[in-house]
Amino acid sequence: MSSSGKMDNPVELDERTYAALSELLNSIKILQDYLNDQVIQDLAKILCCLLKLVNAISSTDLVDILERGIQDPELDRALLSPPRVGLIGLIRALRNEDVQRGMGILIELLRAIGKASTN
């Protein structure tokens, strides 16, 4: 190790590492040979969709709420035997404060989606 902290001889490769590297490089060559300018354009369209999703989920606290919400033990229990809820059941559920908050989020989400769809 030198005084600057850099390793004097940073890489020592054994036979297995060489073999792994060779395999990796050959695999990259498969990708290289597969690509052409049209494939690139088509891949880009798919990538753009994925990037929109990445931006969407990294840009909202809704994901954090969903992440916690879907781990709720009461939901886990309900999923073991999903209850059948009719109109009366729905009205009864709406008296629950958590359901009301969830409805509030859904209504606001609907409003925002509607707004976004017009511009």
Interface residues with another protein (CB under 8 A) are 28, 31-32, 35-37, 40-41, 43-45, 47-48, 51-52, 54-55, 58-61, 116, 119
Provide long-range contacts, Cβ within 8 A and 24+ apart, for 54-63.
62/105, 62/109
Angle at 60 (CA atoms; ends 57, 62), nearest 5 degrees: 90
- Tell me whether residue 30 or residue 79 sits nearer to another protein (CB atom): 30
54 three-state secondary structure: helix
Tokens of 100: 């009301």
- Provide, rounded to whole angstroms, the least separation between the CB of residue 11 and another protein: 17
Tokens of 93: 């559920």
- Provide, rounded to whole angstroms, the least separation between the CB of residue 84 and another protein: 38
- Provide, rounded to whole angstroms, the least separation between the CB of residue 114 and another protein: 13
